[in-house]
Amino acid sequence: MDRVLEKKRFTPKNIALYGAVIVLATLGIYSIAARDAGTKLNVGAETITIATVEQADFQEFIPITGNVMPLKTVFLDAVEGGQVEQKFVEEGAYVNAGDVIVKLSNTNLMLDIMQREAQVFEQLNNARNTRLSMEQNRLALASQILELDYKIAQQKADYDRNLQLAGKDLISKSEIEKLKNDYDYLVQKRRLTIETHKQDSIFRLAQIRQLDESVRRMQMNLTVVKRKMDNLLLKAPVSGQLSALNAEIGELKSAGVQLGQIDMTGGFKVRASVDEHYLTRTFSGQNGRCTIDGKNYELKVLKTYPQVQGGKFDVDMEFSGAIPPDLRRGQTIYIRLELGQNEQAMLIPRGGFYQATGGNWIYVVDKDGSSAHKREIKLGRQNPDKIEVLEGLEQGEKVITSSYETFSDKDVLVLKK
């Protein structure tokens, strides 16, 4: 007799099938949970900063720090080197133009002057001796010519007298010829003596001119060297405050070394450093503002220095209106340098979110305030307080502006009160 066999429910095949279904279901539930955990995060509302998008006045500016300086500073350099012998004023004193500040001594310069003076005196003495020699030669020539004229007159008288006697055949012709030759000799000697003196005088005059020119040049050089002695007295070229003096008694100072500076009274300027990023946007006449002792003051760029050092360049600014009282050299001033005009724009406050997003997206809070979602945006100009919104946000919307450091990978923030 046949038996009915009972069908088994938990066969190995069924067990394997049920196990696979359970594993797949578990993996699906886990992936859903993981996905939800990766896109959402509960955040305490008190730990974030929420701001409202607004339409308001906006002006692009950058904060810079400047130091007060005199409008004009004159530097004092040692024109001649030497040893500091005496100080007549101290640093910080007020000086008038022409006041002696420091006296230097230079032994080599003094010896040089003495040597040059001796050379000038020697040349002057040579010139005097040459002139004396010329005068002596002139007197000697005058005496010679006088003597020759006397002899010529006597010889001519003898010749004329004997010439009459020769006509009467009282003396011989040879005697007459001798008298005539002696007379011609004296006349020729007189002419040669005068010519010799003339040539000698020309030479002496040229020699004197050379000596005079040499003396003139040496006197000019001596004058220049004496001016160098005057340069050993460091004098104030302008009136003002001696804001720096680098000279102590006994110190040796080389020529060209800066010994001090004088700040001219009558105005101040502010020298500030600006990030090189704004080099092409900074120009003369550009406006700035500062607050000192609770009062606002306006400045303008006076000069831009294009040389970049350490990622910054310098600008000089001056007060364009009222000048703050009691300004001091070296005083620090915090300035807002304006980069554009004041105009209407869609704005959000600056915040830590920018470091995580680069301004490309932001969390926008829902109208009911229960959550915040990521949204792509486009930002424009900015200043230390506000950022201009170009695209992606509407006036009145609320956004999270605090740091996203702990949740920037989440798509949705659930705001818990």
Nearby residues of 91 by Cβ (< 8 Å), 6 or more positions away: 242, 243, 244, 245, 260
Length, in residues, of the chain = 417
Quick check: is 388 in a domain?
A: yes
Does the pLDDT value for residue 64 go beyond 50? yes
Rounded alpha-carbon distances, angstroms, from residue 30 to 42, 175, 234, 337:
19, 166, 89, 56
User: How many C-beta neighbours within 10 Å does residue 52 have?
Assistant: 13
pLDDT at res. 33 = 46
Which helix H or strand E contains 25, and what residues bound it? Answer: helix 12-39
Same domain, 386 and 299: no
- The verdict on 118 and 215 lying in the same domain is yes
In a domain, 178, yes or no: yes
Position 373 scores a pLDDT of: 93
Shared domain for 144 and 174, answered yes or no, is yes
| CB-based contact 83:106 (threshold 8 Å) | yes
For residue 351, count other CB atoms closer than 10 A to its CB: 18
Residues 114 and 221 both lie in one domain: yes
In a domain, 27, yes or no: no
Cβ proximity of 378 and 392 under 8 Å: yes
Residue 22 lies in a domain: no
Instruction: Clarify whether residues 298 and 398 are in a common domain.
Output: no
* pLDDT of residue 143 exceeding 90: no
Q: Which domain holds residue 310?
A: 61-71+266-338
Give how many domains the chain has, as a whole number.
Answer: 4
- C-alpha–C-alpha distance, residues 39 and 48, integer Å: 18
The answer on 303 and 217 residing in a single domain is no
Point out the domain boundary residue: 338, 367, 394. Answer: 338
The answer to whether residues 224 and 113 belong to one domain is yes
**Together in a domain, 237 and 225:** no
Q: For residues 93 and 56, give the distance between their C-alpha atoms in angstroms, rounded to a whole number.
A: 52
In a domain, 16, yes or no: no
- Cβ–Cβ under 8 Å, residues 144 and 193: yes
pLDDT (0 to 100) of residue 403: 92
pLDDT over 90 (residue 59): no
Report pTM.
0.52
Strand partners, 271: 67, 316
Q: Could you read off the pLDDT of 156-212 as tens digits, one per residue?
A: 888 788 777 766 666 777 787 888 888 888 889 888 888 887 887 788 788 778 877
Looking up residue 99, the CATH number of its domain turns out to be 2.40.50.100
Q: Where are the alpha helices (DSSP H) in 102-172?
A: 107-167
- Per-residue model confidence (pLDDT) at position 27: 56
> CATH number for the domain including 383?
2.40.420.20
What is the three-state SS of 69-108?
EECCEEEEECCCCEEEEEECCCCCCEECCCCEEEEEECHH
In this structure, is residue 257 part of a structural domain? yes
pLDDT digits (tens, 9 = 90+) for 261-285: 998 877 789 999 999 999 999 999 9
Clarify whether residues 207 and 170 are in a common domain: yes
Q: Among 178, 213, 229, identify where a domain stops.
A: 229
Residues 87 and 137 placed together within one structural domain of the fold? no
| Domain end marker among 291, 312, 338 | 338
Summarised one tens digit per residue, pLDDT across range 343-391 is 899 999 999 999 989 899 999 999 998 999 999 999 998 888 899 999 9
Q: How confident is the model at residue 417 (pLDDT cuts 50, 70, 90)?
A: confident
User: What would the two tokens of residue 399 be?
Assistant: 């956004």
Instruction: Tell me what the pLDDT averaged over the chain comes to.
Output: 84
Nearest 5 degrees, angle CA 212-CA 215-CA 220? Answer: 125
